[in-house]
Structure 1
Amino acid sequence: MGIVSAAADMAVALFSLTIAVAAPLIDAQSVLPRHLFPPQLVALKRWYADEFGDYLLVRPPGFLRGLVWLELAFLWPLAVATLYGVLARRRWAATTSLIAGVSTLTSMSAILGEIVGSKKATPKLLQMYVPFAVFAVIAILRGLCSCTPRGTAGSSVGPFARKKRV
């Protein structure tokens, strides 16, 4: 079980790091004025959109703008906290991992539904979005199945629990 847990932790850390970096630097360009970003970042976003055929980033529809605001206001700080929690082996990282996974899977469902439903899904574009859905499922499972040697996560029952004195 230790290898699976370590692999899940590594996947969640990678997922959180990606969101912590990409959300403010790339995704925020969809909702904030372009002059706030260095030309290199604007060029990177343009290159990505051209290379992968990501029509959602070229002309972001209203629902995507809403998801980006949600990502910046809620998911980005949560991803930073989850990254810290996983790397520092904090017990509460299971909760933040679960919340971040559910939020991301919900967003990815809407985005993948649009891409596949519009018939504009190319294999290259799906290669960019599907891993986020997979990472989200791993984050959810990590949050639900986090096992600790002291009992279940959040439980005070276990070998180190204090006994009540009367």
Structure 2
Amino acid sequence: MGVVSAAADVAVALFSLTVAVAAPLIDAQSVLPRHLFPAPLVSLKRWYAREFGDYLVARPPGFLRGLVWLELAFLWPLAVATLYGVLARRRWAATTSLIAGVSTLTSMSAILGEIVGSKKATPKLLQMYVPFAVFAVIAILRGLCSSAPRGTAGSSLGPSARKKRA
């Protein structure tokens, strides 16, 4: 079980790092004025949209702009916290991982529903979006399956509040 847990930690850390970097540098270009971003980042976004045929990034519809605002305001700080929590082995990282996974899976469901429903889903485009849905599921499972140390499961009292028996 330790290997599976370590693999989940690596996947969640990689996912969190990707969101922590991409959200403010790439995704934010969909909702903020272009002049706020350096030319190489604007060119990178245009290249990606052209190369992968990502019509949502090229001309973001209203629902995608809303999801980007949600990502910037909520998911980005959560991804930074989750990355720190996983790397520092904090117990609360299971909770942030769960929340980030649910938020991302919800967004990916809407995006993938649009891509597949519009019949514009190319294998290359799906290769960009499906991994985020997979990482989201791994983050959810990591959050749900992280076990508390023995003796504390189900206890709401901290160690100093427990009574000692003589």
Q: Same fold (TM over 0.5)?
A: yes
Distance 1:83 1:115, change over 3 A: same
| CA displacement at 1:64 relative to structure 2 | 0.1
Contact 1:94 1:144 in 2 (8 A): yes
Contact 1:56 1:64 in 2 (8 A): yes
Distance, in Å, in 2 between the alignment partners of 1:140 and 1:24 is 23
Contact 1:150 1:159 in 2 (8 A): no
Distance, in Å, in 1 between the alignment partners of 2:58 and 2:139 is 29
Contact 1:151 1:158 in 2 (8 A): no
| CA displacement at 1:164 relative to structure 2 | 4.7
Distance 1:102 1:154, change over 3 A: farther
Distance 1:69 1:85, change over 3 A: same
Deviations 1:17-66 (A, max 9, x none): 00000000000000000000000000000010011000001110000000
Distance 1:153 1:165, change over 3 A: closer
Root-mean-square deviation (CA), in Å? 2.3
5 Å-filtered alignment, 1:65-84, equals 65-84=65-84
Distance 1:24 1:154, change over 3 A: farther
Q: Secondary structure at the residue paired with 2:49? A: helix
Contact 1:13 1:86 in 2 (8 A): yes
Distance, in Å, in 2 between the alignment partners of 1:74 and 1:16 is 13
Deviations 1:65-90 (A, max 9, x none): 00000000000000000000000000
Distance, in Å, in 2 between the alignment partners of 1:154 and 1:78 is 25
| CA displacement at 1:151 relative to structure 2 | 4.9
Kindly tell me the number of residue pairs found equivalent between the two proteins.
166
Distance 1:160 1:122, change over 3 A: farther
Distance, in Å, in 2 between the alignment partners of 1:125 and 1:106 is 18
| CA displacement at 1:148 relative to structure 2 | 3.9
Distance 1:2 1:118, change over 3 A: same
Q: Secondary structure at the residue paired with 1:90? A: coil
Distance, in Å, in 1 between the alignment partners of 2:81 and 2:100 is 10
Deviations 1:122-142 (A, max 9, x none): 000000000000000000000
Identity fraction in percent: 92
Distance 1:138 1:70, change over 3 A: same
| CA displacement at 1:159 relative to structure 2 | 9.8
Distance, in Å, in 2 between the alignment partners of 1:89 and 1:136 is 19
Distance, in Å, in 2 between the alignment partners of 1:139 and 1:151 is 25
Contact 1:146 1:152 in 2 (8 A): no
Task: Tell me the residue number matched to 2:45.
Answer: 45
Contact 1:146 1:153 in 2 (8 A): no
